[in-house]
Amino acid sequence: MALALGAALSSAGAAARYRALPVAPEILFTPRDERGVSFTADGRTAFFTVRLAAEGYLQVICTSTLREGHWAEPQVLPFSGGPAFDADPFVTADGKTLYFASSRSPEGGETPVLDIWVAERAGAGWKPPRRLAGKVRGKGSVRSPVLGRSGRLYFSSTRDGSNKLYYADPTADGLGEAVPLGEGLNGAGEAVGLAVNPAEDTLVFAALGGADELLAPGQVYPRGDLYVSHRTNGVWSPARRLGEPINTAAAEGSPSFSSDGRWLYFMSERGFATRQDIVLTYDALERGLATSLNGRGNIYRIDARVLEAYR
């Protein structure tokens, strides 16, 4: 018990040296509900999701490019924008291929559960997205695709009834069988999003309902926290919940790494609604809802070296 407490305090102290900073405030830190981001290798093109409250949820994938120090007005990708729910964009380092999860139907019929789709660049535009080939589909939803440099695809799926983490290796006919990443990662709760660093030896994922999840007053259902695992000699370590300044009493999720592995990006709903030191008047409520810290998603980044404190 003393050793476990000492390790926890050591991790907290090491993590405190790092700060979580807003990313691209013009496009990723606004009063809108930004849920996750993937950057090209040069960091100059962003693909991100914006969620809208409608019947159910509508979520779209947007893009913006950095020009002369300013992010251009975001555009909804031509194949997104509804009626399907689009999520979890992952762009390859060259910016030519985008993986994402979507509820769209390949036959144009009844809307299925989430599946992984792939869109490829065609000049200045995009080819129509295609459903990912191979054996990844299975039963249930499949989402949060991350293509490793090895060609291995990491993803989450409800194929056995709950959200867990898997990988699939490339074969001549597309991706092979889905393989669980291990109980050490799949015991923290419902795994709904993941990120893998370029070396494929560090994995960060979002989970709902973990036994150690921190909830703000008044929150009676899981909101989501981020966890980390490191791979040594081919084995992933048991998942560890990340502390502050990454996880808070608000929801955190949608992790991703920069192409060089230097930065960890993530979504957080932290803001005035999760503060415990204020009493809201109606005027204060109106002012808070008009800001970027209104309880909807914003994108932060933190130096990925913070993850070394959780080995």
- Please give the residue that has the higher pLDDT: either 112 or 266: 266
- Supply the mean pLDDT for the chain: 86
Q: Is residue 97 predicted with pLDDT exceeding 60?
A: yes
- What's the mean pLDDT in 161-177? 89
pLDDT tens for 26-39 read: 999 999 999 999 99
Q: Is residue 255 predicted with pLDDT exceeding 70?
A: yes
pLDDT tens for 228-238 read: 999 999 899 99
pLDDT of residue 174: 84
- Per the CB < 8 A criterion, the answer to whether 67 and 42 are in contact is no
What phi-psi label fits residue 14: left (phi over 0), alpha (psi between -120 and 50 degrees) or beta? alpha
Distance CA 242, CA 113 (A): 30
Q: How many CB atoms lie within 10 A of CB 246?
A: 23
- Per the CB < 8 A criterion, the answer to whether 171 and 157 are in contact is no
Segment holding 25, helix H or strand E: helix 25-28
pLDDT of residue 182: 79
- Per the CB < 8 A criterion, the answer to whether 203 and 195 are in contact is yes
DSSP3 helix / strand / coil % (the chain, rounded to 5): 15, 40, 45
pLDDT tens for 282-295 read: 998 898 889 999 98
What phi-psi label fits residue 130: left (phi over 0), alpha (psi between -120 and 50 degrees) or beta? beta
Distance CA 169, CA 178 (A): 8
Q: Per mean pLDDT, which range of 1-5, 7-11, 78-82, 165-169 is the poorest? A: 1-5
- Tracing tokens 């036959």 back to the chain, one arrives at 107
- What's the mean pLDDT in 124-152? 91
pLDDT of residue 113: 82
Of 214, 235, 165, 169, nearest in space to 194 by CA = 165
- Please give the residue that has the higher pLDDT: either 155 or 58: 155
- What's the mean pLDDT in 41-67? 88
Distance CA 173, CA 262 (A): 34
Structure pTM?
Answer: 0.89
Q: In the structure encoding, which two tokens stand for residue 77, read together?
A: 């990708």
- What's the mean pLDDT in 258-269? 96
pLDDT tens for 176-230 read: 999 999 776 766 667 888 999 999 999 999 998 766 656 555 555 556 899 999 9
Q: Is residue 249 predicted with pLDDT exceeding 50?
A: yes
SS3 category, 83: coil
Q: How confident is the model at residue 89 (pLDDT cuts 50, 70, 90)?
A: very high
Q: Is residue 279 predicted with pLDDT exceeding 90?
A: no
pLDDT of residue 172: 85
Q: How confident is the model at residue 3 (pLDDT cuts 50, 70, 90)?
A: very low
- What's the mean pLDDT in 272-288? 81
Residue 66's identity, in one-letter code, is L
Distance CA 119, CA 132 (A): 10
